[in-house]
Structure 1
Amino acid sequence: MARKNYPLRISPELYAVLERWAADDLRSVNAQIEYLLTRAAREAGRLGSPDNPPARTQGRAQTPDPE
């Protein structure tokens, strides 16, 4: 799987938190960010496991009418 490079701008305070968290989990900051994003995407139902991908939907999500 090819990886995509993407510049990320975050505050120094958030970077320091991620740096400490990554060290606690024995990961690099980059690996920690990727881990957190992957976990969030799975929990949101946007990313399935490799053997169980999420169901695809067509078009945009429908919003309920505010009645």
Structure 2
Amino acid sequence: MLEAVQRWSEDELRSVNAQIEYLLRDALRKAGRLKPAKPDPVDDDE
């Protein structure tokens, strides 16, 4: 399994750790277990 993740991370130009984090975040999002990201605050000075 590690070799498959290593190859995949190389294909995606990510480190293995970043690839694992990406996979976990995607799985959590798909399972509805990840809180929605907070929107960026709007800068009223523009």
Flag whether TM exceeds 0.5 (same fold): yes
Asked which structure has the greater RCO (Cα within 8 Å, sep 6+), the reply is 2
TM-align CA RMSD: 1.4
Unaligned runs of 5+ in 1: 1-13, 53-67
> Which letter does structure 2 place at the counterpart of 1:24?
D
TM-score, normalised via structure 1 length: 0.54
Cα offsets for 1:4-55 (capped at 9, x unmatched): xxxxxxxxxx000000000000000000000000000000000033128xxx
Q: What is the CA–CA distance in structure 1 between the aligned matches of 2:20 and 2:35, rounded to whole Å?
A: 18
Q: Name the structure where helix makes up a greater proportion of residues.
A: 2
How many residue pairs are counted as aligned between the two chains?
39
Aligned to 1:44: 31
Identity over the aligned pairs, expressed in percent? 54
Unaligned runs of 5+ in 2: 40-46
